[in-house]
């Protein structure tokens, strides 16, 4: 039994080291305001179906939305949500209020840019699909 103790301590040490950056990252993220929480709720109900990947290996229908796209571009984002884009996105001017749209925008200002996972080991950065496509 004593032979397993050093291995157990080593395993515990590795787990602590691996968990520390995750805990530190979560602690450094400021909490969402009530408006941002409401925006997240609406985004998850109305927008996530197109703007987040449905599974880990699937592509999303619409573009990823994150703070660098939204900041200093609020009027264009608001107009796109209201009016949509012909053939690309429906408008929500009859389904969402101005306050709800503004809360979505405030929430999106807290979203970090998603990382781009390579699904193909031969895929180069910035390229999608298979080689030869």
pLDDT 10s digits, 22-49: 444 455 678 999 999 999 999 999 999 9
pTM over the 0.85 mark: no
CB distance 81 to 91 below 8 Å: yes
Would you say 103 and 38 are in contact if contact means Cβ atoms under 8 Å apart? yes
Smallest CA-to-CA distance from 32 within 21, 20, 42, 22 is with 42
Q: Which domains does the chain have, with CATH numbers?
A: 32-114 (1.10.760.10)
pLDDT digits (tens, 9 = 90+) for 96-126: 999 999 999 999 999 999 887 655 554 444 4
Higher pLDDT, 56 or 69: 69
Residue 83: pLDDT above 50? yes
């Amino acid at each position: 039994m004593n032979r397993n103790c050093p291995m157990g301590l080593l395993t515990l040490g590795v787990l602590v080291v691996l968990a520390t950056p995750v805990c530190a990252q979560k602690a450094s993220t400021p909490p969402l305001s009530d408006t941002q929480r409401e925006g997240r709720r609406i985004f998850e109900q109305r927008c996530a179906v197109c703007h987040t990947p449905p599974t880990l290996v699937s592509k999303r229908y619409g573009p990823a939305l994150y703070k660098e796209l939204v900041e200093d571009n609020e009027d264009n984002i608001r107009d796109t949500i209201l009016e949509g884009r012909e053939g690309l996105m429906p408008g929500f001017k009859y389904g969402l209020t101005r306050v709800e749209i503004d809360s979505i925008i405030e929430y999106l200002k807290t979203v970090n840019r998603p990382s781009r996972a390579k699904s193909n080991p031969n895929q180069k950065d910035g390229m999608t699909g298979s080689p030869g496509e």
